[in-house]
Amino acid sequence: MRFFKLFFSRIAIVALVIVLQIAFTSYGIYYMQNKYPLVSGIMSVLCLLILLRLIDYDEPASYKIPWITLILIFPFVGLAMYLFFGNCRMP
């Protein structure tokens, strides 16, 4: 009984949905890279341009280093996150 209560709790369902979303996104990126190499090339050039802009940006290193690391490790996800959240400033 306790197992079913834990399994069907909101946290477990949300965690499962997040894992499924990450899996589908990862498969989509993998599929796009193999099916359309031009898209992969364009994204690589865009990542490089964003990295060069970020390095030249007049901000403290504590702001730039996490973004550079994220973009270098996960180029597609890091680029999308930077384009969405990169220009937001903490108050």
65: left (phi over 0), alpha (psi -120 to 50) or beta: alpha
Say if residue 90's pLDDT is above 60: no
Dump pLDDT digits (tens) for 56-68.
Answer: 888 888 888 888 8
The reply to whether the predicted model has a pTM over 0.85 is no
Q: H or E element: which one contains 64? A: helix 61-73
Check residue 7 and give its pLDDT: 64
Residue 89 binned pLDDT confidence (cut-offs 50, 70, 90): low
